[in-house]
A and B are shown apart, each in its own frame.
Chain A
Amino acid sequence: MYDPSSAVTGTQAVFAAHAENVAVKALASLATDAKFDRKELTVTVARENIVAACQAVQQAGYNFLEDVTAVDWYPSEPRFQITYHILSMTLKERIRLAVRLDGEDAALESITSVWPSANFYEREVFDLFGVRFGGHPNLTRIMMPTDWNGHPLRKDYPVEGYR
């Protein structure tokens, strides 16, 4: 069974335990928080650094963007967690980048300039969570109808719709 004490948390502890990891080296100056849990490495970066962080891991050999998604931690703040899963096909390793956003100002830079595949993923996050991506080529709804009211995957979205 899973042992919660096996998780390593905190930037310094994780970076000391995984000093040889190329992603850790690339993100040394950008990370604000880190976690190594269930053999998965998560590095949190500040909102304004996400494009720089993606470029850094891309140069370090993490060549494939697998997924961009979000988690809504309503009602706690910062409310949104934007999660990026990035894969290295040469190292056969995966890294998770995370950005925390306040509910009041849920916006960050698009990473379509680094990986064009982020286009659909970011549109999906915009559609279902209402998080805006600056510099996105076509930030429109993708799943819901264009005249839909609200963002369904938010935790405060009424499941039976607005009345």
Chain B
Amino acid sequence: MSPTAAPDMLIPDVEDVVADAKRRYGVPPPQDQTMVINMGPQHPSTHGVLRLVLEIDGESVVSLAPDIGYLHTGIEKTCEAKFYQQVVPLTDRIDYLCPMTNNLAYCLAVEKLLGLEIPERAQYLRVLLNELTRIQSHLVWLGTHAMDIGALTVFLYCFREREEILRIFENVSGQRMMTSYFRVGGLALEPPLDFYKQVEHFLKIMPDRITQYEDLLTGNPIWINRIKGVGYLSAADAIALGVTGPPLRASGVDWDLRRDMPYSGYEKFQFKVPISNDCDVWARYVIRMEEMRESVKICRQALNGMPASGPITADAPKIILPEREKMKTQMEALIHHFKIVTEGFPVPAGEVYQAVESPRGEMGYYVVSDGTAKPYRVHMRNPSFATLQALETMCKGRLLADVVAVIGSIDIVLGETDR
């Protein structure tokens, strides 16, 4: 045996693998002609490390069971050992495509526990950055979803515009992806001088670029045939299975947390919530494209309505780190800084649930405080985790190739599914 060949004991028997998969994932015993196959976790179209155990009859799916947990890092447990302000960088890493949305949901939850009032300017900046995050996340979705289906060109166009947004993020927070820009009580830093100009430029070019993507896809017969009528999910099923966000709206349910339960000043913005009654992958595509256009409009309103000056943090010296200059001139500021960094800040006991509309649906943070400086429990309600339950309903009886289109259409992020 050559030294590079695997020892026999490492290669499991095929029948054992199938029997094990069936036992663990509750796949019913195969009929005469069905076959159990494994898809993922190392599969490019599963957008990460999603594993599916599929029972197929020829090319059509008889049953499907998702297996998750490959990215489980125990973030909820880690949060319990951190001060409240130290949890913010952890939230970035849950859903790495929309860091700002995670930051916002967590900060709003803790601010609700504390009863903090956030200044208007900080709220506008938070909304502006959240909508840029939504566009950025939808661009990654569009690029990878189209690539799964075979339209490789779109990917390059989408990532060109995403790069612009990442440059804005880098400019404002110093980081391209793991921004951690929001703080409990406001924002980390004053945005740099050319930030508004940069956003202005981006908002000017973006509507045309969305039209470009649509030119590449909307009329394309291959694209239409691959996604129209695929992955049907009725409104009743969507609600019963916990689906939120664009897939829910594509099933004809008119629900958007930004409009219906506004947070962070969203009630001041005018925007449409796109709805479709087609309930298929096509409808989810159309809705996300419309959402990008609406996000551009919200960004524009945020830029126009932003107060020219004003604080970006709440007036709470015991919770928010003082400015550098004050630390050098005022004794009190130095003491507050020392106390916050070494001991954190106590949060009154209680429990809150704060939900925001992330690009994938309802992202909720349930934070329980026992009155100390560390959260007693942080739980994240993640849209991808819930939406994954609807995968079987959408794929049953359809072709194996449609599974790839459906996974792309629910825009799954495994980082937030497994946490």
Is B350 a contact of A37 with CB atoms below 8 Å?
Answer: yes
Q: B260 contacts the other chain (Cβ, under 8 Å)?
A: yes
Select one of A42, A120, A121, A137 contacting B351, CB under 8 A.
A42
* Chain A residues touching B, range: 35 or more
Residues in B neighbouring A75, C-beta threshold 8 A: none
Is B266 part of the binding interface, using a Cβ–Cβ cutoff of 8 Å? Answer: no
Q: Compute how far the CA of A119 lies from the CA of B261 in the bound complex, rounded to whole angstroms.
A: 26
On whether the beta carbons of A96 and B72 are closer than 8 Å, the reply is no
CB distance from B16 to the nearest CB of A (A): 15
By a CB distance below 8 angstroms, the chain B residues around A108 are none
Question: Is there contact, CB below 8 Å, between B115 and A142?
Answer: no
What 1/0 flags go to B229-249 for Cβ under 8 Å of A? 000000000011110000000
Binds A, one of B5-13, B88-96, B331-339, B361-369: B361-369
| CB-defined contacts of A69 to chain B, threshold 8 Å | 366, 379, 381
- Chain B residues within an 8 Å CB radius of A153: 76-77
Residues of A with C-beta under 8 A to B381 = 66-67, 69, 85
In the complex, are the beta carbons of B366 and A83 less than 8 A apart? yes
Does B69 sit at the interface, judged by CB under 8 A?
Answer: yes
Is A146 engaged at the interface, CB distance under 8 Å to the other chain? yes
Choose among B69, B241, B348, B376 the residue that contacts A116 (Cβ–Cβ < 8 A). B241
B252 to chain A, nearest CB (A): 12
Cα–Cα distance between A128 and B73 once the two chains are bound (Å) = 12
Stretch at the interface among B131-139, B192-200, B209-217, B382-390: B382-390
Beta-carbon nearest neighbor of A115 in chain B: B240
> Is the CB of B206 closer than 8 A to any CB of chain A?
no
Task: Choose from B239, B350, B364 the contact partner of A38 (Cβ within 8 Å).
Answer: B350
* Contact code string A51-81 (vs B, CB < 8 Å = 1, else 0): 0000000000001111101011000000000
CB distance from A135 to the nearest CB of B (A): 15
Interface SS of chain B: mixed
Contact between A1 and B255, CB atoms less than 8 A apart: no
Q: How far is the CA of A96 from the CA of B350 in the complex (A)?
A: 13
Any A CB within 8 A of the CB of B68: yes
Distance in angstroms between the alpha carbons of A67 and B253 in the assembled complex: 19
**Which residues of chain A (94-137) have a CB below 8 Å from chain B?**
94, 96, 115-117, 119-121, 128, 137
| Complex Cα gap A63–B379 (Å) | 22
User: What 0/1 pattern do residues 100 to 124 of B give for CB contact below 8 A with A?
Assistant: 0000000000001111100000000
- Verify B242–A117 contact, CB threshold 8 A: yes
Are A7 and B350 in touch, CB under 8 angstroms?
A: yes
Whether A85 touches B116, Cβ cut-off 8 Å, given contacts A38-B352, A66-B381, is no
Q: Which residues of B contact A149 (CB under 8 A)?
A: none
Are B316 and A38 in contact, CB atoms less than 8 angstroms apart? Answer: no
Task: List 5 A-B pairs, Cβ < 8 Å.
Answer: A1-B316, A71-B368, A85-B366, A115-B242, A119-B389
Interface pairs A-B: 5 shortest CB-CB: A117-B242, A2-B115, A67-B381, A143-B72, A143-B69
